Structure 1
Amino acid sequence: MLEISKLTKDFNGLRAVNDLDFSIQPGTINALIGPNGASKTTVFNLITGFLPFQSGEIVFNNQQVNKLPAFQISRLGISRTFQNIRLFPQISVMENMLLAMKYPKGEKLLSAILRSNEMLSEDE
């Protein structure tokens, strides 16, 4: 479970996030919506450790992650993606997916390709 408590972030005196509280249960789908400039990206950057914050607490699976660097937060399973949908435009969607996939230990390239095909088929 991800728990956010009293999360606050200022940029040069401008309060972008003010005492934000929410929790996300495992296995649920959640959305953070709002207009441009509503600090949605800032919230994701705070949770993933890319930005420091003034106050508050972030707990993931009963472990406080406030002071951890971004790479350690990522290793715990908290990560984000960027809006650039096709990072390498010179290669296919399939090749982009294969580059981004985590391969379970011992998984062969062929089974990864088959998984990618299944994922692409679901999107159609």
Structure 2
Amino acid sequence: MQCERCQTLLEEGESYDFHGQILCEDCYIYLINPPKACDPAAVAGAVATRKQLGQSGTAGLTELQKHIYRAIEERGKITREELLTMVKVKPHELERQIAVLRHCELIRAFKEGDKVYLTKW
């Protein structure tokens, strides 16, 4: 059996039904609780926690989050599509990590012409 969203092979008993779709756990969780980059409560919580822990910059981030942050830092501005090819993760995983970095006020998005770019805060 395969996840209908990401094509991951699933073993018996490891699938979830979401409106008739057979999904892996990661895809199921993403669909029932998608990351929200613009979430004022999450921003307040992340900023307060990092301040309380004395964290700034990439301190306290996972290796994947640091990799994403450095890629954005190196390019100055980058589209999600460009970032996906650089970090080589599933699109929903990238969105989850972007949300975390935005909540920590480390990156932001802006529109230029018809493209949306990510850049450092």
Question: With structure 1 as the length reference, what TM-score do the two structures score?
Answer: 0.23
**Higher share of residues assigned strand:** 1
* Structure with higher RCO (Cα < 8 A, 6+ apart): 2
Question: With structure 2 as the length reference, what TM-score do the two structures score?
Answer: 0.23
